[in-house]
A = this chain, B = another copy of it.
Amino acid sequence: MTAILLSSCPDAKGVVARVTGFLHTYGANLIHADHHADLAEKASFLRLEWEVEGFSLDAESFRAAFSPIAASMEMTWSLHFSSHKPKVGILVSRQDHCLVDLLHRFSIQELSGTVCFVAGNHPDAKPMVEHYGIPWYDLAAKAGDESAKAESESVVLEKIRHEGVELIVLARYMQVLSGGFLTESAAPVINIHHSFLPAFKGGRPYHQAWERGVKIIGATAHYVTQDLDEGPIIGQDVVRVSHSDTVEDLVRKGRDLEKLVISRAVRLHLSHRIIRHRNRTVVFD
């Protein structure tokens, strides 16, 4: 069992020394220390992971002891424990390949968390979700129907609050979430976009890619913000295509990318390896 500290602060001398010195004072046996100084942004980022055994502070006393140090460095920080399994909610539409892949990864504990519910606006995935013993909720959302969308969002918001969901995953959920939902849900939202952003934003990216005649297609996992397809990128991957690939071939090859890219992003988030800074991410992998 380990504890993990994530922190960001303005660049200054002694950040690593002070924080690792603090941990050493209380007996931390450090397993991983990752540091990044962004010289352009004049900011320092740290991820420290140590064994809970032998460390003399619990979460509350850590806060009490560390807060003054952090404040003196204008540091933003969070503390996590590997023993805590975050609660996750998943939204899905008709295509269920990302969902099926994620559920298996959670089931073999490759992903560390608890899926509290899956909600979707197509019923196809329901039997598989129930196979894993996870609650399923039908959503009324459909393109162009604002009231159905609002109703769907309020259903999901209610589940999120009720369960205390800490991460929302859009596993090929094809409805754009409203700004109100993003504000009220509070939890971070990870989406998979089926292109190597910023190319081919918006709808039907595989068709756009075929039209342009690219020789490589991609997929992008990112945090959702109010600006569609503009949130901080977590991870991307690509695959080669050729003139002999039809749009259907791009869709097929893309499915494999989407599964890989979203599951990696979810793993990185759940293992506390990502720090958001402005519209970019620091990913300690």
Which residues of A does B touch, CB under 8 Å?
A: 13-18, 20-21, 23-24, 27-40, 45, 54, 97, 100-101, 104, 108, 110, 127-128, 131, 196-200, 212-216, 218, 232-238, 242-244, 246-247, 252, 255-256, 260, 279-283, 285
A-B contacts, 17 of them at CB < 8 A, read A13-B24, A13-B30, A14-B24, A21-B21, A30-B37, A31-B37, A31-B39, A34-B35, A97-B104, A100-B104, A110-B252, A127-B131, A196-B214, A214-B236, A215-B235, A216-B238, A242-B283
Give every chain B residue within 8 A of A279 (Cβ-Cβ). Answer: 212-213
A110 and B31 alpha carbons, distance in the complex (Å): 34
Most buried by B among A54, A101, A199: A199
Q: Which residue of B lies closest to A38 (CB)?
A: B243
How many copies of the chain does the oligomer comprise? 4
Q: Are A16 and B27 in contact (CB under 8 A)?
A: no
A191 and B13 alpha carbons, distance in the complex (Å): 39
* Extra pairs beyond A196-B196, A215-B235 (9, CB < 8 Å): A20-B20, A110-B252, A197-B212, A198-B212, A199-B199, A213-B232, A213-B233, A243-B280, A243-B283
A201 and B38 alpha carbons, distance in the complex (Å): 26
Report A222 CB to chain B, min CB distance, Å. 9
With A127-B131, A199-B196 already in contact, the answer to whether A236 and B215 are too (CB < 8 A) is yes
